[in-house]
Amino acid sequence: MSMNVVTGEPTLEGSVSKALDELYLTIVPRDKANMRLLESILKSAGADGQSVETNQKDTDFGEVEHPVDYAKLVRLKYTNIQHGRCIDAKVTALVGFGYKRAKEISEKLDDLCKKTFAELSTEIAYDVVDTGAGYMEVVRDESDTLVGLNFMSVTKPKVERTKDGWHWKIHEPCGTSQNMAFFGDKEDYKKRNTTDTRTKAEISELIQIRVPQNLSPEYGIPSHLAVIPKIEMSSVINQFNYDFFQNWGAVAQMLILHGAAIDPKTWAAIKTEYVRTVKEGHGMKGVLAHIPGKDLKIDKVDLGSNQFEGHFLEYERQVAVDIVGGHGVPHPIAMIQPNTSLTFPKTDETKDSVKMFQGFWAGAMQMLWANTLEGTLGQEIKLAPVKEQRQVTNGVSQEFEEIEHSGWMPKTIEESLQFGMAPQAGGPDDGKGLGQSQGAPKAGSTGTNGVQPS
């Protein structure tokens, strides 16, 4: 992205994507730069919604607006290396290693998906990690048999409140919209909305996988919003480097001439030579001039923008560390080398960080994921529970106890590290049924009810 170094406004000339250029500057539109980047997000996030289980009555009917710009949030990972790596690491830790009942899930669900259920899970997981919520469209035929499972972009669904109940309104980029029912609510939706003349098979249900938080009861809000100012500061640092090395808009030093007068002809020659050698970047970044005058004095002043003698470069490293720390992802898992050291942590430290991340983030998210699918798809697609032996140390001896997981539970990071790298989602596996090879949608698979994933 090119930059006008006088006004600081982006010209968007020669950029790869104008949409990404918008994100390069900010995720929330505002008139001038300040430290209150998230004010508008937090203000609108807490303004809407009452839970359907409350005794308080809703007086505000209509569509509930999204608390944040989800379209920008899902693209933000493509504008910052550290943020993007952390998102990828979280998605991989959540569902990237497949399910514990991978073969059973593949046999029962792959034919309902455009490709495989593993790929569908990964697509939804990206929305969950990016925005705090993800959606799956469920399609049935007239006999209420499941015939299709599809990805629904987080940017499309909005909750619509009516005096009789709630449902989803799906907004398409072309401007059209249609209603969908909450999962398990299609019959009641048809009774409430007598003006909807579509058949049961034409009305889809929507499963929402949402990370609980206390700002928006209807939608998701990602926990990493606090790193956005750091991401924006990283873009400022990158822009400074462009200005410094290419645009020559960041001055590193100043030469102050004083103590004598210079005739206009000599001064004009100095400026011409300076522009030729320094400003345009031709040859060496320097200029040599002989200025006559025994009383003339020259003082060189180093400015704060001289990153080689200041702390700007060191701050760039700290911003990268802060972004990864804001996600709570250990550096080895995010495949990012800490700038504070020349090597990755020792093996024992890496193992400990994996265990902490699995316990405090990935494990809790996998429980949420499995419980949501168990309470929705699990009502009709029965999966045998997973029984595992867990080693317990009582201080004297080591014993084992049996624990039971939902059949929808994804594999953990430790399981993947123990048995080697997992195959890619949807690709050939070791025979345990992670999925079939990637390819075009299978013949006979059903699509959406008029809503194409984006």
Instruction: Output the pLDDT for position 175.
Output: 83
Q: Which residue has the higher pLDDT, 24 or 158?
A: 158
**φ, ψ at 312 (rounded to 5°):** -65, -40
User: Structure tokens of 149?
Assistant: 């499972």
Distance CA 236, CA 450 (A): 42
- CATH 3.30.1120 boundaries in the chain: 253-302
pTM (2 d.p.): 0.72
Q: Which amino acid belongs to residue 58? A: D
Distance CA 336, CA 380 (A): 42
Q: Which residue has the higher pLDDT, 334 or 179?
A: 179
Q: Which amino acid belongs to residue 259? A: G
Residue 76 burial (10 A CB sphere; 0-12, 13-18, 19+): buried
User: Structure tokens of 107?
Assistant: 């046999």
95 with 421: CB under 8 angstroms? no
Distance CA 150, CA 138 (A): 7
132 with 186: CB under 8 angstroms? no
Ramachandran class of 431: left when φ > 0, alpha when ψ lies in -120 to 50, beta otherwise: left
| pLDDT tens-place string over residues 185-210 | 999 999 999 899 999 999 999 999 99
Element (H, E) at 319: helix 312-327
Instruction: Output the pLDDT for position 239.
Output: 72
Distance CA 435, CA 104 (A): 10
Distance from chain centroid for Cα 89: 11
Distance CA 121, CA 150 (A): 10
Instruction: Please report which confidence band the pLDDT of residue 118 belongs to, taking 50, 70 and 90 as the band edges.
Output: very high
**φ, ψ at 180 (rounded to 5°):** -135, 155
Distance CA 238, CA 273 (A): 29
388 with 377: CB under 8 angstroms? no
| pLDDT tens-place string over residues 306-330 | 555 446 667 778 888 899 989 999 8
384 with 407: CB under 8 angstroms? yes
- Class at the top of the CATH hierarchy for domain 253-302: alpha beta
Q: Which residue has the higher pLDDT, 268 or 255?
A: 268
The pairing of beta strand 177-182 with beta strand 165-171 = antiparallel
Q: Which residue has the higher pLDDT, 413 or 34?
A: 413
Smallest CA-to-CA distance from 203 within 243, 176, 168 is with 168
pLDDT over 60 (residue 59): no
Site of tokens 């990755």: 344
pLDDT over 90 (residue 113): yes
Instruction: Output the pLDDT for position 404.
Output: 86
What is the average per-residue pLDDT within 145-155? Answer: 96
Ramachandran class of 134: left when φ > 0, alpha when ψ lies in -120 to 50, beta otherwise: beta
Distance CA 115, CA 384 (A): 24
| pLDDT tens-place string over residues 391-447 | 766 666 667 777 888 899 999 887 876 644 444 333 333 333 333 223 333 444 445
What is the average per-residue pLDDT within 288-297? Answer: 74
